[in-house]
C-alpha cells in the first residue's frame, strides 16, 4: 500500500487561480520524497489538501489507504506536520510539546523531543521569545510527536541556521531508517537533494517531473 496516493487533484481559488492543476502522485511507504518548486507553485496547497485542511475542487487523496475526505481524523492521527509559518502564542516551549503530546494522546517525553532538536536549555522560555530558527525547531519537535508514520515538512529550513538544518537532516534520516515516510517540501534544490530518494517538481500548479535526483540531473 502506498503512503500517499493522489489522483486528479485540482484546487482552484476563485475564478483565476489554479493552485493545483490535475496532479497525480504516488509516494511509497518508507520513501523520503522531495516536493520541489518555486514559491507559488502549489506545494502548501497540496499539503493543506493532504490533511483535509481545505477541500479539493476535484480529485482525491488517500493516505495509507484512507481517503482523507472520508476520514480526516484517521489520517491526521498517523501524520506529523511541520506547517509553513506556524503562529506561536505566549506558551513555554515545553508547554507546546505537552499540548502536542496530549492532542495526539501520545506518551512521548517532552524534554526528550526538545533535546533532540537542540532546545533543552530553552524549554522554560516563551516560544514567542524564540528566534525564527528556534521556533522552527519547536514546530519540528511537535511534528515528531507520537512517531508519525508520515512526516510532512513544509519549507522546514525557514529561519534555520546551518546547525539547525543539519539536525533536521539527521533526524529525518534517522526516522526514515526506522520506516517513517517523509514528504519534504522546499523551494531549494540542494535541501531536497541531500535527504530525498525521489523528487516531484511542481511548477504553476502542475507536477512537471517525478524522478530520482540522478534522473532529474540527467535531464537538466
Ligand atoms: P507554494 O506553497 O508552492 O509556495 P501555494 O500552494 O501556497 O504555493 O500557492 C499556490 C498558488 O495558490 C499561489 O498563486 C497562491 O497565491 C494561491 N493561493 C494559495 N492559497 C490561497 C488562498 N487561500 N486563497 C487564494 N489563493 C491562494
Ligand atoms: P507559501 O510559500 O506556502 O505559498 P504563502 O505565504 O504564500 O506561503 O501562504 C501562506 C498561507 O496563506 C497559506 O496557508 C496559503 O494557503 C495562504 N495564501 C497564499 N496565497 C494566498 C492568497 N492569494 N490569498 C489568500 N491566502 C493565501
Select from 10, 11, 13 the residue to mutate for testing ligand 1; criterion: most ligand atoms less than 8 Å from CB.
13
What is the per-residue pLDDT for 86? 86
Ligand 2 interacting residues, C-beta cut-off 6 A: 39-40, 44-45, 84-85
Instruction: Flag whether pLDDT at 201 surpasses 90.
Output: yes
Alpha carbons 46 and 202: distance in angstroms, whole number = 10
For the cut 90, the answer to whether the pLDDT of residue 220 exceeds it is: no
CA 52 / ligand 2 centre spacing (Å): 16
What is residue 99's predicted lDDT score, i.e. its pLDDT? 97
**DSSP-assigned states of every residue in 142-161:** HHTTT--SEEEEESTTTT--
114's grid cell = 526538545
Q: What is the pLDDT of residues 108-160, one digit of tens each?
A: 999 999 999 999 999 999 999 999 999 999 999 999 999 999 999 999 999 89
Predicted ipTM of the assembly: 0.79
Ligand having the closest approach to the CA of 19: 1
Instruction: Give the CA distances from residue 33 to residues 83, 118, 186, in Å, rounded to whole numbers and listed in that order.
Output: 16, 25, 11
pLDDT of residue 111: 97
DSSP string, 78-94: TEEEE-TTPPPPS-BHH
Which of 17, 34, 153, 188 for a ligand 1 pocket mutation test, highest count of atoms within 8 Å of Cβ? 17
**pLDDT tens digits for 157-189?**
998 989 999 999 999 999 999 999 999 999 999
Summary mean pLDDT of the chain? 96
> Ligand 1 site: residues with CB under 6 angstroms?
13, 17, 19, 37, 39-45
Position 55 pLDDT exceeds 90? yes
Query: What's the CA-to-centroid distance between 7 and ligand 1, angstroms?
Result: 20
Percent of the chain with pLDDT over 90: 91
Q: What does the alpha-carbon distance between residue 201 and residue 186 come to, in Å, rounded to a whole number? A: 10
Handedness of CA 86, 24, 202, 187 (dihedral sign): positive
Amino acid at each position: 500500500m502506498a503512503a500517499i496516493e493522489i489522483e486528479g487533484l485540482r484546487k482552484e481559488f476563485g475564478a483565476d487561480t489554479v493552485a493545483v492543476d490535475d496532479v497525480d502522485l504516488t509516494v511509497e511507504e518508507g520513501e523520503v520524497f522531495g516536493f520541489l518548486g518555486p514559491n507559488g507553485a502549489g506545494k502548501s496547497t497540496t499539503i493543506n489538501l493532504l490533511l483535509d485542511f481545505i477541500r479539493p475542487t476535484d480529485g482525491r487523496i488517500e493516505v495509507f489507504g484512507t481517503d482523507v475526505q472520508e476520514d480526516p481524523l484517521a489520517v491526521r492521527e498517523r501524520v506529523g506536520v511541520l506547517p509553513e509559518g506556524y503562529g506561536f502564542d505566549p506558551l513555554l516551549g515545553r508547554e507546546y510539546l505537552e499540548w502536542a503530546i496530549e492532542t495526539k494522546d501520545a506518551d512521548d517525553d517532552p524534554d526528550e523531543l526538545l533535546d533532540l532538536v537542540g532546545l533543552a536549555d530553552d524549554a522554560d522560555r516563551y516560544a514567542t521569545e524564540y528566534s525564527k530558527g528556534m521556533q522552527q525547531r519547536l514546530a519540528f519537535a511537535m511534528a515528531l510527536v507520537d512517531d508519525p508514520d508520515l512526516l510532512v515538512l513544509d519549507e522546514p529550513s525557514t529561519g534555520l541556521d546551518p546547525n539547525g538544518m543539519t539536525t533536521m537532516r539527521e533526524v529525518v534520516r534517522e526516522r526514515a531508517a526506522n520506516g517513517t515516510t517523509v514528504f519534504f517540501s522546499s523551494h531549494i534544490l540542494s535541501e531536497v537533494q541531500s535527504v530525498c530518494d525521489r523528487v516531484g517538481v511542481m511548477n504553476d500548479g502542475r507536477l512537471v517531473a517525478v524522478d530520482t535526483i540522478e534522473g532529474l540531473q540527467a535531464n537538466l
